[in-house]
Amino acid sequence: MNNKSIWALFSLFALAALALTSCAQPTPETIIETVVVTEVVEIEGETIIETQIVETTKEVEVPVEKQVLIYNSYMSDPDPRAADAEVVTMFSEANPDIEVLHSTVAHEDFKQAIRAYLTASTPPDVLTWFAGNRARFFIDNDQLMDISDLWASEGWNESYPKGFQAMSTVDGNQYFLPTSWYWWAVYYRISIFEELGLEEPTTWEEFIAVNEALKEAGYTPIAIGTKYRWTAAAWFDYLNMRINGPEFHVDLMLCKESYDDPRVAQVFEVWRELLDSGYFIDDAAAYSWSEALEPFIRGDAAMYLMGDFIRDSLPDEIEEDLGFFRFPIIDPNVPIGEDAPTDGFFIAANSQNVEAAKRFMAYLGSVEYQTYFAETLNRLPTNFDVDKSIFTESQQEGLELIEGADFVAQFYDRDTTPEMADEGMNAFMAFWDDPDSIDGLLADLEAARLEICAPE
Amino acid sequence: MVRVRKNLIPYMFLIIPLIIYLVWVIGPMFYTFYLSLTDWDGLTTPTFIGLQNYQKLFEDKVFYISLFNNLKWLVSFITIPVVLGLALAMVLNRAIPGEKFFKMSFFMPMVLAMVVSGLIWGWMFHPAGGLINNFLVATGIMEKGPGWLSDRDLVLWSIILVATWRQVGYVMVLYLAGLKSINPQLLDAATVDGATGWQTFWRIILPLLMPVTVIVIVISVIDSLRAFDLVSVMTRGGPANASSVLANFMYIESFNNYKMGYGASIAVILFFLSLIFIFIYLWRVMKDELEY
């Protein structure tokens, strides 16, 4: 399977390359030709040379090399997909000399295929990706193109806040273009909270009380689908930041703290209380995150810890019934950390159409694009020249949530190394299934950390 | 000279498939052997690390879970579908009304792509809204249906059930073909000699079906070793690797965790495991060919 897949991929790329070379077709163009017509007329024995300038319009086949731009996107959820396609249309209309070959790949598959994309001889020119460690890994491996010139010429060094500049910059050069970000929070169904007379909890005690009340009333307090594991990582992120503070969390992500630290064990103790009390939905492992939305939409489950992209998958009438609150504070003495992942784009280092790619990137970083994205998908823009008055109420609220935080993290699998994220998320799953095994799991995680993060 | 040319012609025809086979199968195979001795993340150049991947593999818990799951799959596969398939073949090998319809129905699952079967059963196994749990709850057999694909003790058996459902029809067709090739005179002779139905089955039919049985078992073994599609579609090996099989483990390590070298070493182990049974199969097939 392994070897076959690689070769199958290669052959696909070979085919794609073949298809591309045949794309530059001559297009019929209307041109205006100026023809000087010289007539020699003989009038009464005299020879007069008459010169006339005649303009003729004719259709000629002029071979115009349309630049081809390959754009691979992971925006496969319905709403982002539509918006993404619209963006490509808008760009193509404004740039008729560029033909955008746009393909959308389901995001779990995209994450798996990206290395094959990047190492192909004709990689996609522009790709969607995540800021943070996931981008850093490719930058360190020279797979991302240096776009410092674009940052300078587009004025992004002024219009983007420092934080976004920093996450795009390695050794003084910019490689990444963050375009949108969103916040994480506990989302809930307003109608259920109203029915039971519940308030948005701010402290852990209140949160537990809300869970208890929901359970009592026959609701599933918390929906979650852990088939793809990362949803559980959000719980780890928040519990760790609320119990041990963002500084410890970041150090743990950077492998500077150990997983057999008693502080980590404490996180799982609190987590376990939630599990043992039966606050989470049954059989979480059977669902993907969006499949677990079903009970939330039906009104059987009341809360869901999720990023704001939860909106993309909700029907409109549910969206009106959707509220969110900051993940409750466990220890008031600890600074507040929030997850606010940033998404964006980059140009592959081996891009064959750099000029077209840069023009597309310039568009993606522009106020026009970011305004469109902020309006249609409720994401928050990274370009601060975007008019803030277009923000909806929830966007304002989300912005406040993040502005009120002392520290902003990306997300578990974006903050730590890919290998460690994988080990960690496996351990979360094993813990979820059998909380008693936590001591062994943490010992294994620590062994993995020492191996993965060992100085080379 | 003429004779030499005559002998060359078949080789000329074979050369194209041979080249394709070399480039697309044999080449990548040896490349995988090489990769299994390297550390490769799919981006940088592979670094040679000797047998370290194998060393790590033999200490990896997930490897043993996967191997053991493959064994469970294998044992179920050479018993349940074989017995059921043979039983169906015996029942349907006579002129009963609707015999064609039944044969078709039992073979139908085989026609569906594995991925489709996996998806359909995934919905049927859905813990809250699935067909099976709704039935169990509606008929009062259970108050709350089990989490077929989220319970670590159940998940593998749920998937094996789907695989079995698919395999039975296939085995049935193989046995039906085998039964057709049995000389009816032998059966008539047995009847004349006063053998009961059971005696005919055990003493005459089953021994005569022996070649088919060997093929069926070897195919079942190979199918169970290459099990991947259903696991990948239904659970991706989860929860917490409870339903992981070697092929899925290899895929996840290679393409999800980007440990290409490590994934390749799993592929090599799987290759040699399969090779044993493929040899038995080929040996059997060739022996049969020589007999006729």
Longest C-alpha distance within chain B, in Å? 83
- Does the domain formed by B16-116+153-291 have CATH 3.40.190.10? no
CB atoms within 10 A of CB A276: 9
ipTM score of the complex? Answer: 0.72
DSSP for A143-179? -B---HHHHHHTTHHHHS-HHHHHHHEETTEE--EEE
- The reply to whether B47 touches chain A by the CB within 8 Å rule is no
What is the distance between the alpha carbons of residues A46 and A41, in angstroms, rounded to a whole number? 8
pLDDT of residue A221: 96
DSSP for A190-221? HHHHHHTT-----BHHHHHHHHHHHHHTT-EE
Separation in Å, CA of B43 to nearest CA in chain A:
6
Identify the CA nearest to B217 among candidates B268, B174, B185: B174
A16-20, A446-450, B57-61 — which is least confidently predicted?
A16-20
The per-residue pLDDT for range A386-425, each reduced to its tens digit, is: 888 888 888 999 999 988 888 888 999 888 888 899 889 9
pLDDT of residue B4: 61
Using an 8 Å Cβ cutoff, are B44 and B266 in contact? no
Average pLDDT of A28-49? 59
State how beta strands A177-181 and A342-347 pair. Answer: antiparallel
Using an 8 Å Cβ cutoff, are A321 and A342 in contact? no
Beta-carbon separation of B255 and A422 below 8 A? no
Q: Is the pLDDT of residue B5 over 90?
A: no
pLDDT band with cut points at 50, 70 and 90 for residue A56: low
Q: Is the pLDDT of residue A308 over 50?
A: yes
User: Nearest by CB to A1, which of B31, B147, B267?
Assistant: B267
Nearest CA in chain A to B60: A444
Name the DSSP letter for residue A227.
Answer: T
CA atoms in the 13 A half-sphere facing the CB of A112: 15
Beta-carbon separation of B247 and A419 below 8 A? no
* Total beta-carbon pairs less than 8 A apart between chain A and chain B: 98
CA atoms in the 13 A half-sphere facing the CB of B250: 27
Nearest CA in chain A to B232: A227
pLDDT band with cut points at 50, 70 and 90 for residue A23: very low
Average pLDDT of B124-152? 86
Separation in Å, CA of B57 to nearest CA in chain A:
14
Separation in Å, CA of A220 to nearest CA in chain B:
12
Beta-carbon separation of B242 and A294 below 8 A? no
CA atoms in the 13 A half-sphere facing the CB of B128: 19
DSSP for A127-148? EEEESSHHHHHHHHTT-B---H
Residue B107 parent element (H or E): helix B99-111
- The reply to whether B46 touches chain A by the CB within 8 Å rule is no
pLDDT band with cut points at 50, 70 and 90 for residue A69: very high
pLDDT band with cut points at 50, 70 and 90 for residue A53: low
Nearest CA in chain A to B41: A115
Question: What's the full length of chain B, in residues?
Answer: 292
* Substitution target from B258, B265, B270 for chain A, most A beta carbons within 10 A: B258
Average pLDDT of B162-170? 93
pLDDT band with cut points at 50, 70 and 90 for residue B8: confident
A6-15, B11-20, B278-287 — which is least confidently predicted?
A6-15
What is the distance between the alpha carbons of residues A389 and A392, in angstroms, rounded to a whole number? 8
pLDDT of residue A24: 41
Angle at CA of residue A347, ends A341 and A352, nearest 5° = 160
pLDDT of residue A276: 95
Average pLDDT of A144-165? 90
pLDDT band with cut points at 50, 70 and 90 for residue A1: very low
pLDDT of residue B83: 94
What is the distance between the alpha carbons of residues B54 and B263, in angstroms, rounded to a whole number? 10
Average pLDDT of B35-43? 89
**Residue A81, CA distances (Å) to A131, A341, A361 in order:** 20, 19, 18
Longest C-alpha distance within chain A, in Å? 117
A16-25, A30-39, A187-196, A274-283 — which is least confidently predicted?
A16-25
Q: Is the pLDDT of residue B286 over 80?
A: no
The per-residue pLDDT for range A155-210, each reduced to its tens digit, is: 998 888 888 888 888 888 999 999 999 999 999 999 999 999 999 999 999 999 99
Single-letter residue type at B26: I
Nearest CA in chain B to A139: B43
- The reply to whether B149 touches chain A by the CB within 8 Å rule is yes
Average pLDDT of B152-181? 93
pLDDT of residue B248: 94
- The reply to whether B130 touches chain A by the CB within 8 Å rule is no
What is the distance between the alpha carbons of residues A48 and A433, in angstroms, rounded to a whole number? 102
pLDDT of residue B178: 92
Name every chain B residue with its beta carbon within 8 A of the beta carbon of A419: 257, 259
Q: Is the pLDDT of residue B79 over 90?
A: yes
The per-residue pLDDT for range B260-273, each reduced to its tens digit, is: 999 999 999 999 99
Q: Is the pLDDT of residue A22 over 50?
A: no
Helix extents (H) in A283-417: 293-298, 316-319, 354-364, 367-377, 393-403, 412-415
Beta-carbon separation of B129 and A294 below 8 A? yes
- The reply to whether A109 touches chain B by the CB within 8 Å rule is no
pLDDT of residue B141: 85
**Residue A99, CA distances (Å) to A71, A157, A256, A313, B169 in order:** 10, 29, 47, 30, 50
Using an 8 Å Cβ cutoff, are B187 and B200 in contact? yes
Q: Is the pLDDT of residue A25 over 50?
A: no
Name the DSSP letter for residue A246.
Answer: H
Average pLDDT of B136-157? 87
- The reply to whether B269 touches chain A by the CB within 8 Å rule is no
The per-residue pLDDT for range A268-304, each reduced to its tens digit, is: 999 999 999 999 999 898 888 988 999 999 999 999 9
Please indicate whether residue A449 or residue A30 has the higher confidence score (pLDDT).
A449
Beta-carbon separation of B263 and A2 below 8 A? yes
Q: Average per-residue pLDDT in chain B?
A: 88
Collapsing DSSP to helix, strand or coil, A377 comes out as: helix
Beta-carbon separation of B44 and A141 below 8 A? yes
**Residue B263, CA distances (Å) to A11, A377, A417, B57 in order:** 21, 39, 19, 10
Collapsing DSSP to helix, strand or coil, A225 comes out as: coil
Average pLDDT of B159-186? 92
- The reply to whether B41 touches chain A by the CB within 8 Å rule is yes
pLDDT band with cut points at 50, 70 and 90 for residue A26: very low
